[in-house]
Structure 1
Amino acid sequence: MSAPSALALSGRRWFPLWAIMHHDGRRSGTHYATPVAVIPTLSTDTLLIGLPWGPKTNWARNVLAADGATVTWKGQVQQATEPRLIGPEDAAALAKPLFRG
């Protein structure tokens, strides 16, 4: 999916596997809206986002530096607080069974 089409579809109520991460650049302060893939979890208060390009992607570094971000997911705007990086084993334990590696 191209970036413009991913951004157009992400965050919609009828497109639950993609969200939009709203974050500010840690150096520039520029506001960004980045489409991200959401992995369904067992808990309603946990949002699990895959990092296919690794933890050094700029959006992930921005969210970690700011200690949170705003996420549009399933048509709702939510605050994402206390972000952290976890390993594959911990992520698999949080994911719904159908989405475990």
Structure 2
Amino acid sequence: MPEPDRVPGPPRAAQRAFAPVANALAGRRWFPLWAVVHHRGRRSGTAYATPIAVVPTTDRATILIGLPWGAHTNWARNVVAAGGAVLTWRGDEVATTAPRIVEGAEAAALAKPFFRFVVRRMPAALVLRRS
């Protein structure tokens, strides 16, 4: 049984079906809502490349990534532990720093108006600064 503050992860079948599409499109210049976050495991040191959705923000220096499965998402915890990550986004490598996990309400305040409704309902989000 999951812990009370954890949200169950995505269904495995959906994950297997969606992964090839996400990996093919994420990080491409012509697909700006998806990126790839490059990070290392906190304990293993293994390098990972995880496709993610970037939420447009009102501040160009701020990068916002929704965490629909909660603050305990492993890749997000890896990025926080490392103090940043590199994103492949819009066809470029973007170095980031100062990662922090915030609640949906704070994330909604950073998002562009059209996206606030969705972000506010997420249990958490990852906020990064371009370096």
Q: Does 1:56 align with 2:51?
A: no
- What is the alpha-carbon distance in structure 1 between the residues aligned to residue 107 and residue 89 of structure 2? 19
3-state SS of paired residue (2:44): coil
- What is the 5 A alignment of 1:12-27? 12-27=28-43
- The unaligned stretches of length 5 or more in structure 1 are none
Distance 2:66 2:86 in 1: 17
Query: In structure 2, what is the Cα distance between the partners aligned to 1:90 and 1:57?
Result: 18
State the percentage of identical aligned residues. 63
Q: 1:7 Cα shift?
A: 1.2
Match of 1:38 in 2: 54
TM-score (norm 1): 0.95
In structure 2, the residue matched to 1:89 is 105
Aligned positions, number: 101
TM-score by length of 2: 0.74
**1:66 equivalent in alignment to 2:82:** yes
Q: Distance in 1 between matches of 2:116 and 2:67?
A: 15
Distance 1:69 1:30 in 2: 14
Structure 2 CA distance, aligned partners of 1:53 and 1:90?
Answer: 17
Instruction: Tell me the CA shift for residue 4 of structure 1.
Output: 2.0
Deviating above 2 A after TM superposition, structure 1's stretches of 4 or more consecutive aligned residues are none
Code of the residue aligned with 1:27 in structure 2: it is R
- The structure that has the greater radius of gyration is 2
